[in-house]
Amino acid sequence: MLFLTGCGGASTPADFEDAGKTAGAAETLESIEVTDAGPDAAPEVEFDAPLDITEQGARTVTEGDGAVIEVGQNVKVHVLSLNPEDGSRIQDSYEAGAPQTLPLDEELQEVYPSLYEVMLGSTVGSQIAFAIPAVEEQPQSQKVLLVLQVISAENPPKKLSSEEVAELEEAGQLPTVTLDGEGVPSIEFPENEAPADLVVKVIEEGTGEEITEADTIAANYTGWSWQGEQFDSSFERGEPSEFPLSGVIPGWTQGLSGLKAGSKVLLVIPSEMAYGDQPQQGPAGPLAFYVEIVEKVAAQ
């Protein structure tokens, strides 16, 4: 399952005939009523148990009054996970304070088509019930009922143009990298928040081969959180690291592809293109990297 956390609600009981969009086996969800429990607690959910969930189904229990959700947006949701047999709670994201971001993309459409169909064109603030059946090929798999509250829907970050990067630099909104006598970088951060989009500032352009997303490269680098805390550095290990650009965070893949070997760059990466705001591994939030592309590694 792509997500399984908890939910916070802002809805009231709804009549099935008056509900919003439905998709898949939505009739399974006809009896569901959702009642708001305040901004810091999961909603109360009632239904006629047990629910007979044999196929995916989704239903908008209550429409929100926010913006319409569009294809490609990152949709932030709180999710309440319930046992459809008796309504008991499995997980609740409010206890952890950790809403989840779902990209409304082809992967979601392929794995959870009914949720994708209902979410697309719904509005921010909506409460959506989603039924997931057990997977026969997975003996430990169990059917589950999710109740999602849409908190926000935003366009994903993009790579800024060189002109846009220059404007940020002129405004003093980018970190400043300084190299010591041995070429080891240090960094000074501005007081503003990190840019919302991917920044690629070329400090020195290389003269080697152009790098593509399919290449493996050797690079020296140092990484910092936006708060200025260093979390990794190949300079301290004394040798460059090798890695395929297809196997790193999106900010590296998109930020380094198209550059030439020998280039030295500053990457400022929004959390959505790094490890996220609450990652299971890796540093949280927006990050900054100084990267020297040593060479393109020949295919084995």
Same domain, 121 and 181: no
- Average of pLDDT values for 47-51? 96
pLDDT digits (tens, 9 = 90+) for 198-237: 999 999 999 999 999 999 999 999 999 999 999 999 999 9
Q: Kindly state whether residue 245 falls inside one of the protein's structural domains.
A: yes
Closest by Cα among 237, 79, 75 to 156 = 75
- Better-predicted residue by pLDDT, 12 or 165: 165
Measured between its terminal Cα atoms, the distance across the chain in Å is 35
Rounded CA-CA distance 219/221 in Å is 6
Q: Kindly state whether residue 10 falls inside one of the protein's structural domains.
A: no
Q: Kindly state whether residue 239 falls inside one of the protein's structural domains.
A: yes
Q: How far is CA 12 from the centre of its chain?
A: 29
Rounded CA-CA distance 1/14 in Å is 27
- Average of pLDDT values for 261-288? 93
Q: In the chain, helix, strand, coil percent, each to 5?
A: 15, 35, 50
- At residue 278, the pLDDT reads 79
Q: Kindly state whether residue 6 falls inside one of the protein's structural domains.
A: no
Would you place residue 20 in the very low, low, confident or very high pLDDT band (cuts 50, 70, 90)? confident
| Single residue among 109, 138, 154 that ends a domain in this structure | 154
| Single residue among 121, 154, 187 that ends a domain in this structure | 154
Same domain, 147 and 186: no
Structural domain for 247, as ranges: 162-297
Same domain, 218 and 187: yes
Closest by Cα among 117, 119, 113 to 67 = 119
Q: Kindly state whether residue 214 falls inside one of the protein's structural domains.
A: yes
Amino acid identity of residue 200, one-letter, is V
